[in-house]
Amino acid sequence: MALTIPQIRANTMRARHLYQRTRRQNFAVGAFNIDNQETLIAVCRAAQKLKSPVLVEVSHGEVKALGLENIRDMVDNYKDEYGVEMYINLDHSPTVDDCKRAIDAGFEFIHIDISQENHDASIEEVIEKTKEVVEYAKFTGALVESEPHYFGGSSNLHTEKIDYEEIKKTFTTPDFATYFVEQTGIDTFAAAVGNLHGKYPVPKQLDLELLQEVRDALDCQISLHGGSGTPLHYFEDAAKIGVSKININSDMRIVFRKTLEEVLAENPDEYAIVKLMPEVYQAVQAVVEAKIEAFGSAGRAVI
């Protein structure tokens, strides 16, 4: 059932309060991608067990598969069932129109990423379209996130090594981050300090000194994308520095698939797949719990 405008605005106000708490209390909230009901259940169970606020997020492909209104309804239903503090983030949305539809559906967090669709988009185009989403979001109070250029990697299991000399060319600079935030009016800046999407053969390395410089330069919130495959101590430090949101996807997808493959192989005569899902829930939940502990968000939920 569609939310009313007052309900949406009440949710976005709570979302803003959550981000304020992250800064005051030095924790980050996890944004966990879902592409099915089972993953959503695993996130809810982890949030309930650890009394942690969470964001669930959906990218363009996941929205096409599940539907905006269906996602909104599922999250609201499970939020009530499990009694958790939970919000929805539209992740890496490639167009202004898609962002507007999500805002209308009551998503509390919106990530506009023009460079996702066009890697060569000019900074002028990125700023113009980001500003359009920021202006539209004022009606509901949704928080808008963006970055000035294409963010490397993909939400998958990579076999190639990380070329840090190449990645460093796309690192955030404090001066340009300040300019971008001033020009767009965004609520959250997606920083690039060694984090990139997907999971790689070697652990990721974050430039925490640069992250601190970016934090010192900006008044708005900061997010880190590409959290999978990152040693947990980086998250602990990032939360202390003042990162408000950390995105996790590939770590969950990999354990989901591997666990499902195992239980299917162990039960070749069972065709009621729902009976095999508890082990999958538990495996994904364990991943989410580990991230929540590292982010420092356990015990921070406000219901």
Q: How far lies 240's CA from each of 78, 92, 102, 197, in Å?
A: 30, 25, 31, 22
* Residue 277 exposed, middle or buried by CB count within 10 Å (0-12, 13-18, 19+): middle
Amino acid at 154: S
Catalytic residues: 91
Q: Name 112's bridge partners.
A: 93
Side-chain-side CA neighbours of residue 154 (13 Å): 7
Which residues are within 8 A (CB) of 36 and not within 5 positions of it... i.e. 6 or more apart? none
Q: Which residues contact 31 (CB under 8 A, 6 or more apart)?
A: 54, 55, 56, 57, 89, 91, 109, 223, 245, 246, 247, 248
Task: Evaluate whether 124 touches 132 at the Cβ level (below 8 Å).
Answer: no
